[in-house]
Amino acid sequence: MTTTAPKTPTVEADAVRPPQRPRMLSRSARRTLTPYAFLLPALVMELLVHIVPMAVGVWISFRSLTQFYIRRWSEAPFTGLDNYRVALDWSGPTGAELMHSLLVTVIYTVCTVGLSWLFGLTAGVLLQKRFHGRNVMRTLFLTPYALPAYAAVITWSFLLQRDQGMLNHILVDQLHLTDDRPFWLIGDNSLWSLIMVAVWRTWPFALLCITAGLQPIPQELYEAAEMDGAGFLLQVRSITLPLLAPVNRVLILVLVLWTFNDFSTPYVLFGGSAPHAADLISMHIYESSFITWNFGLGSAMSVLLLLFLLVVTVVYWIAVNRRRRDA
């Protein structure tokens, strides 16, 4: 309810009345601070869920945290850079195994991301033109990405069994491609099995992103190219790929980071302990800490992995952005 006060000369009144303290923030302050207020919950969650645990992890890496100290972390003895020294000593067994798992992971990531991107691009381009059943195909292709990891990968582990698995049943019993029943879950083939399962799970995501990235490309460009006599592959190389470049830049980086850190696929496929040929670094760190109860060493390895991925990301980002600036 507002009451209208009797009109009084305002100049006089202001001179007499002392300036009132604002009960709320001034309008401009509110405008500046409101976005941060909206960001605050996300920031707090990010701190609690990501940053603080990472900082604790780094703290653990400087200590010898074994089963003797897991109940009282603050009493774990300070060991300085000892854990890092063990992890980086490539002539010692721990360091050598870590280096081996890093190399395996690099091969795994390159193959998985490369093949996923290639399949995603091919399917995305071929599914651009509308045809009967296109939506059905798109849904079918996206299914592996939508399935829960455990259910999907455990099914693959049954398919890949040597004696009872369907893959060997088809290859050996029905197609007679080889007499020797190959192993898929142990030995040297295990890395290729892992890559196959990872590509199966990952390529739908690439298809999704590339499909989205293809939408804004105007159809006229392709029609013009066709009139100029460009074939399909030339059109892809000179129109599709350059215009997809922004999407590809982010897609590849995201795929590389996710694939490098992939834990659930090897863990479920190999039942908790990976064969030597497919010893991914995430599994390796898990086995060096949780299974041997040496959390200090596991944390040191995790920090080294973090630094490695940071360097890769920075180098990649500089490289792709420089190319853009030159172009």
**Chain residues in the site for another protein (CB under 8 A):** 67-68, 70-71, 86, 92-94, 97, 161-163, 181, 183, 185-188, 271-273, 275-276, 287-288, 290-294, 297
The distance of closest approach from Cβ of residue 176 to another protein in the complex, given in angstroms and rounded to an integer, is 17
The distance of closest approach from Cβ of residue 93 to another protein in the complex, given in angstroms and rounded to an integer, is 4
The distance of closest approach from Cβ of residue 297 to another protein in the complex, given in angstroms and rounded to an integer, is 5
Contact indicator for 271, 210 with CB cutoff of 8 Å: no
Integer Cα distance of 218 and 236 in angstroms? 13
The distance of closest approach from Cβ of residue 140 to another protein in the complex, given in angstroms and rounded to an integer, is 30
The distance of closest approach from Cβ of residue 262 to another protein in the complex, given in angstroms and rounded to an integer, is 19
**CB of 4 or CB of 74, closer to another protein:** 74
Integer Cα distance of 71 and 47 in angstroms? 24
Single out the residue of 296, 302, 297, 294 nearest to residue 263, CA to CA: 302
**CB of 97 or CB of 214, closer to another protein:** 97
**CB of 188 or CB of 226, closer to another protein:** 188
**CB of 128 or CB of 189, closer to another protein:** 189
The distance of closest approach from Cβ of residue 195 to another protein in the complex, given in angstroms and rounded to an integer, is 18
The distance of closest approach from Cβ of residue 271 to another protein in the complex, given in angstroms and rounded to an integer, is 5
The distance of closest approach from Cβ of residue 270 to another protein in the complex, given in angstroms and rounded to an integer, is 9
Q: Please list the residues that pair with 78 across neighbouring strands.
A: 63
Contact indicator for 273, 205 with CB cutoff of 8 Å: no
**CB of 138 or CB of 181, closer to another protein:** 181
**CB of 232 or CB of 293, closer to another protein:** 293
Considering only the C-alpha atoms of the chain, give the largest distance between any 2 of them, rounded to a whole number of Å: 106
**CB of 8 or CB of 91, closer to another protein:** 91
**CB of 77 or CB of 92, closer to another protein:** 92
The distance of closest approach from Cβ of residue 43 to another protein in the complex, given in angstroms and rounded to an integer, is 25
Q: What is the DSSP string of 49-90?
A: IIIHHHHHHHHHHTB---TTTTT-GGGSPB-TTHHHHHHH-T
From the CB of residue 202, how many other CB atoms can be counted at a distance below 10 Å? 24
> Positive or negative CA dihedral for 126, 131, 133, 139?
positive
**CB of 69 or CB of 145, closer to another protein:** 69
Contact indicator for 266, 283 with CB cutoff of 8 Å: yes
Contact indicator for 200, 207 with CB cutoff of 8 Å: no
Note the helical H segments in 147-278.
Answer: 149-159, 166-168, 189-214, 219-227, 232-235, 241-260, 264-269
Q: What is the DSSP string of 272-321?
A: TS--GGG--HHHHHHIIIIITT-HHHHHHHHHHHHHHHHHHHHHHHHHHH
Which residues 6+ apart lie within 8 Å of 112 measured at CB?
A: 195, 198, 199, 202, 255, 259
